[in-house]
Amino acid sequence: MLASIIASGLAVGAVYALIGVTYNTMFSASRVMSFTAGQLGMLGGVFGSLFVLRLGMPLVVGLVLMLVCCAIVGLITEFVAVRPVLKSLDQHLYVLSTLALALMIQQVVAVEWSTEPQAFPRVFGIGGGGILDEKFWLPVLTCAAAICALELLYRRTLTGLAFLAIAEDNFAARALGLPERNLRMASYALAGMIGGLAGFSGGQLLLAFVANGPLLNFYGFVPVALGGLGNNRGAIVGGFALGLFQQAANFLVGGIFASVAVFILFIVVLLAAPRGLFGGHLARRV
Amino acid sequence: MALSSESAAGAMQEKSLAGVGSWMFAGPLILIFCLALLVPFVTNDYWVLIATRAAIYWVLVGALNLVIGFAGQLAIGYVALLTLGAYSTSVLVAGNVSPPVPVFAALAIAGVAGAIFGVIVGLPALRLRTFYFAISTLGFATIITQIALAWQSVTGGGIGLPGPEMPAPFHTHGGFYFFCLAVAALVTWMTANIAHSRFGRGLIAVRDADVAAEATGIRKARLLMTIFVFTGASAAIAGGLFATLQTYITPDAFTFDLSVLFFISILIGGRGSILGPLLGTVILTLLPEFAAPLAAWSTFLHAVLLLVIVLVAPGGIAALLDFGNRRALRANRTIVPKVDLVGRLLAADKAKSGIALRGVVLSFLGVRAIDGVDLDVEAGKIHGLIGPNGSGKTTILNVISGFYSPEAGSVALGGEALKPGDSESRASQGIARTFQTPRIVGEASVLQNVMIGGTIHGQSTFIESLLSLPRHRSDERKLRSEAMTALSAVGLESLADIRADRLQHSELRFMEIARACMARPAFILLDEPAAGLSADEILRLGQFVKAISRQGTGVLLVEHHADLIFDICDYVTVLNLGRVLAQGTPTEIRVHKEVISAYLGG
């Protein structure tokens, strides 16, 4: 049982961590938390199943098309729900505008795709359903690969440094002449792809299911809240910790109590450490 | 005799004016409920059911309006409390866990459960804002549905259980409708009472100007908790009624769509209004009846509406109906304070001997903003605080008013140390302040903004305000007349009913001073009150500040206008780089060599 807990815990933890990174990527570029982060995870699974199983495309083509579609959803988020409300960030209108967009995405999927969970294709076909099955290690592998790629991007490329610059100080970055708007759009496209990858890699575990949207919105945000806004390392640690905790509770006391336990943990930790366990300093108010 | 009849006439005029205002507010609401009474007589059972549904939704939305519309807390998962109420009532009446309970007792118990869970769901709002709070209410909504599905022995799981049946005379469609309508009217009345009390004004202050709210002594945590108790109870009772309306409940009946409907009703209606969200609820409940082919897309439509409201018309229906505030204001307004009214405003015993700072140190990220400052503000004196930008003037004000805790040193009032960082207690200890950029509630009237300043003098409890008992009404009368006096004193009485965000910058500065005076403070801290004022206005401001100090109130004045400082101050402190450069009378400072070279120039 311990092996199952660890295998499934790490797998869902990886998905949560990637959704957390999606939240962070959007936040770093715009100081906005978007409700579309979880929906992107859901879309990764739905697009994968749509392209590969329903339309019969080769897996690689399906993967690339899924990434393109999710990047476009990311761009739409930026254009429709984020850019118009950036002027008045202090009113927190983005909570409502991104929620509206997330609900639209969810409703379109529910009506045009299905409200029932649909099968997701095998990727490599390795493992016979045991704890070494690809559905358990694929998300972990994807998460590790995505993190390495992001680190390379942020540390080794000029574009990546520009991303970090606008995340650190938006005004200063603009004053230096960085194309802040283009970088923001690029970040949202990138976030879209990360979210899509989360859903795709976890597709065999979570299936192509519309209800994954709100679920991932919540479980993907928990690591962000625990790790501190914009802190990717915090989100990864938080994601895996959440996955293991949730699956342990799931196996030991049953699914419902696992959800309740996660919820209580979330509230208690946030009340104790509002800026997360690895949180930064508080902004000045007066 | 003549005098008393004159004041009586004045009081009557004031009363009738207030009367007109409250009729303008209550009239449309009463009209809607009167029309609702006619529904069973002019339509069939089907429409009575729809109208019952709207009434039940309003029981929840009306209370939730205080959380979302007034306090600005984005609670998007309130279907959770509807679910909780529906299941509690049904389970209690069915007798699944206890001997069967009568319907009304079950409703009451559900209300208590709702109040408790309302507080639990609301807890995150105390420390976290917006997205965190939104997500946690969302998480709660998901969990409640999962519990309803899984706890089969009690809730019947996916199969569900029958809703409670009402006893006669409420067992018929019509009878139940009138019952729900009565509950809805009661909730409307209670929320209106709260909206027009210091609690309601406290909520909008927390929403739009939380720093000013703290400085006026509004206890945010206590206030929000009280509101969550009320809203949770109302939502759970609405749930009980909802279960009766459905006759049979399953977890499927409580989709997230309902949550969306609830908070979109409020946003469409407009923040801080009661009529708007009521219309929003009615419209959204009726909409599917007229757009039946679109039923599958109802959530999509709601989402589009939400996006449109946020991006295009953030004021909602209430802003569209606010005709009074469309009339153009007179241009070239001048502010003429009535200095002789200051005495009526601040007349109170001033026993406090003085504010004393000793060796106060505070740094931000390694930079010492203030570095060992000693400062004394005496009662009835004007103490000027000047210095170049970044010399620590505003930081000192923030330390005194408890927004920052100093790393070293002490702040005392009348010989007693002030608790560091406890900004909410300063107003009741006799310290009021204004801000460098006016912190105001733009969507509320000027009068309401000023009344916020008198929060600490309110006597009535939340329950008394909820039920509009005598103490609440006398509180309101007193606050209103004091606020009018304060507005007359600063010369803004003609703008009392205008939305505050339509005022000029200089008028907002005087409005903030009026608000600060409402607390009848022993000390008043003014942060650059003359910034943005014309030369004439600065002169009048000077006279006004002098009048304040003549009442025994000590003034700490941060200013850049050297003329004003030297004109009215009794004592001046000059700061440079967080240290005191010089202290003395204006005459001494004016000729102080270092001050001239560091700051005054010349």
Distance CA B331, CA B238 (A): 49
Distance CA B104, CA B166 (A): 8
Q: Long-range contact list for A140-144, CB < 8 A, 24+ apart?
A: A140/A10, A140/A11, A140/A14, A141/A201, A142/A14, A142/A18, A142/A197, A142/A198, A142/A200, A142/A201, A143/A14, A143/A15, A143/A17, A143/A18, A143/A198, A143/A201, A143/A236, A143/A239
Q: pLDDT at position B14, please?
A: 45
Cβ–Cβ contact B49 with A under 8 A: no
Whether the predicted pLDDT of A286 surpasses 80: no
Percentage of residues of chain B with pLDDT beyond 70? 95
Average pLDDT, integer, range B297-322: 85
The shortest C-alpha distance from B518 to chain A (Å) reads 22
| Cross-chain residue pair A225–B132, CB shorter than 8 Å | yes
| Cross-chain residue pair B299–A93, CB shorter than 8 Å | no
CA-based nearest residue to B82, from B105, B54, B59: B59
| Cross-chain residue pair A267–B124, CB shorter than 8 Å | yes
CB-closest option in A255, A263, A284 to B139: A263
Q: Among A138-147, A235-244, B56-65, B285-294, where is mean pLDDT lowest?
A: B285-294
Whether the predicted pLDDT of B600 surpasses 90: no
Q: pLDDT at position B348, please?
A: 58
Cβ–Cβ contact B151 with A under 8 A: yes
CA-based nearest residue to A52, from A200, A262, A274: A200
How many other C-beta atoms are found inside a 10 Å radius of the C-beta of residue B546?
A: 17
Contact residues, chain B, for A286 at CB < 8 Å: 211, 394, 398, 403-404, 435
Give the number of beta-carbon pairs within 8 Å between A and B. 112
| Cross-chain residue pair B74–A96, CB shorter than 8 Å | yes
Which tokens is B492 given?
Answer: 């803004």
Average pLDDT, integer, range B520-529: 92
CA-based nearest residue to B230, from B262, B191, B266, B176: B191
Which tokens is B244 given?
Answer: 């009766």
How many other C-beta atoms are found inside a 10 Å radius of the C-beta of residue B496?
A: 18
A109 or A172: which carries more pLDDT confidence? A109
**ipTM higher than 0.85?**
yes
Residue in chain B closest to A275 (alpha carbons) equals: B128
Q: A70 pLDDT band (50/70/90 cuts)?
A: very high
Q: pLDDT at position B326, please?
A: 77
| Cross-chain residue pair A106–B299, CB shorter than 8 Å | yes
The shortest C-alpha distance from A105 to chain B (Å) reads 8
Average pLDDT over chain A, rounded to an integer: 88
Query: What are the residues whose beta carbons fall under 8 Å from the beta carbon of B202, sequence distance 6 or more?
Result: B213, B218, B223, B452, B455
Whether the predicted pLDDT of B6 surpasses 70: no
Cβ–Cβ contact B304 with A under 8 A: yes
Whether the predicted pLDDT of B374 surpasses 80: yes
Distance CA A89, CA B336 (A): 36
Q: B347 pLDDT band (50/70/90 cuts)?
A: low
Distance CA A130, CA B499 (A): 67
* Digit-coded pLDDT (tens) for B149-165: 888 888 888 888 999 98
| Cross-chain residue pair B146–A33, CB shorter than 8 Å | no
Q: pLDDT at position A265, please?
A: 83
The shortest C-alpha distance from B145 to chain A (Å) reads 10
- For A128, which DSSP code? -
Query: What are the residues whose beta carbons fall under 8 Å from the beta carbon of B291, sequence distance 6 or more?
Result: B301
Q: What are phi and psi of B385, to 5 degrees?
A: -125, 110
* Digit-coded pLDDT (tens) for B586-597: 989 888 888 888
Residue ranges covered by each domain of chain B: 52-256, 339-600
Contact residues, chain A, for B134 at CB < 8 Å: 95, 99
Percentage of residues of chain B with pLDDT beyond 90? 48
Q: Long-range contact list for B103-108, CB < 8 A, 24+ apart?
A: B103/B164, B103/B165, B103/B166, B103/B167, B103/B244, B106/B164, B106/B240, B107/B237, B107/B240, B107/B241
The shortest C-alpha distance from A19 to chain B (Å) reads 14
* Digit-coded pLDDT (tens) for A36-65: 999 999 999 999 999 999 999 999 999 999
Contact residues, chain A, for B439 at CB < 8 Å: none
Q: pLDDT at position A34, please?
A: 92
Contact residues, chain A, for B299 at CB < 8 Å: 103, 106-107
| Cross-chain residue pair A101–B364, CB shorter than 8 Å | no
Select from B126, B264, B310, B362 the residue whose CB has the most chain A CBs within 10 Å, as the one to mutate to test that interface. Answer: B310
CA-based nearest residue to A224, from A44, A6, A8, A16: A16
Query: What are the residues whose beta carbons fall under 8 Å from the beta carbon of B141, sequence distance 6 or more?
Result: B77, B78, B79, B80, B83, B256, B259
CA-based nearest residue to B129, from B202, B61, B199, B208: B208
Distance CA B499, CA B518 (A): 19
Distance CA B278, CA B321 (A): 13
| Cross-chain residue pair B74–A100, CB shorter than 8 Å | no
Cβ–Cβ contact B334 with A under 8 A: no
SS3 of residue B445 by DSSP = strand
Residues 10-39 of B with CB under 8 A from A: none
| Cross-chain residue pair A104–B364, CB shorter than 8 Å | no
CB-closest option in B128, B211, B302 to A270: B128
Q: pLDDT at position B21, please?
A: 60
Residues 354-383 of B with CB under 8 A from A: 364-365
Whether the predicted pLDDT of B11 surpasses 50: no
Cβ–Cβ contact B295 with A under 8 A: no
Distances from the Cα of B260 to the Cα of B56, B83, B243, B281, B302, angstroms: 16, 14, 19, 11, 7
Select from A95, A115, A250, A262 the residue whose CB has the most chain B CBs within 10 Å, as the one to mutate to test that interface. Answer: A95
The shortest C-alpha distance from B206 to chain A (Å) reads 13
Residue in chain B closest to A261 (alpha carbons) equals: B143
CB-closest option in A106, A111, A266 to B136: A266
Q: What is the CATH number that goes with domain B339-600?
A: 3.40.50.300
A216 or B597: which carries more pLDDT confidence? A216
Residue ranges covered by each domain of chain A: 2-272
The shortest C-alpha distance from B7 to chain A (Å) reads 43
Residues of A with CB under 8 A from a CB of B: 33, 80-81, 84-85, 91-93, 95-97, 99-101, 103-104, 106-108, 111, 214-215, 217-218, 221, 225, 254-256, 259-260, 263, 266-267, 270-271, 274, 281, 284-286
Residue in chain B closest to A86 (alpha carbons) equals: B311
CB-closest option in A80, A106, A270 to B132: A270
Cβ–Cβ contact B230 with A under 8 A: no
B89 or A281: which carries more pLDDT confidence? B89
CA-based nearest residue to B214, from B420, B511, B416, B452: B452
SS3 of residue B383 by DSSP = strand
A2-272 under CATH 1.10.3470, yes or no:
yes
Q: pLDDT at position B296, please?
A: 77
Pairing state of beta strands B523-527 and B431-433? parallel
Q: pLDDT at position B340, please?
A: 81
| Cross-chain residue pair B138–A218, CB shorter than 8 Å | yes
Whether the predicted pLDDT of B145 surpasses 90: no
Apex B565 CA angle, B562 and B569, nearest 5: 160
The shortest C-alpha distance from B9 to chain A (Å) reads 45
CB-closest option in B74, B140, B299 to A103: B299
Distance CA B490, CA B541 (A): 9
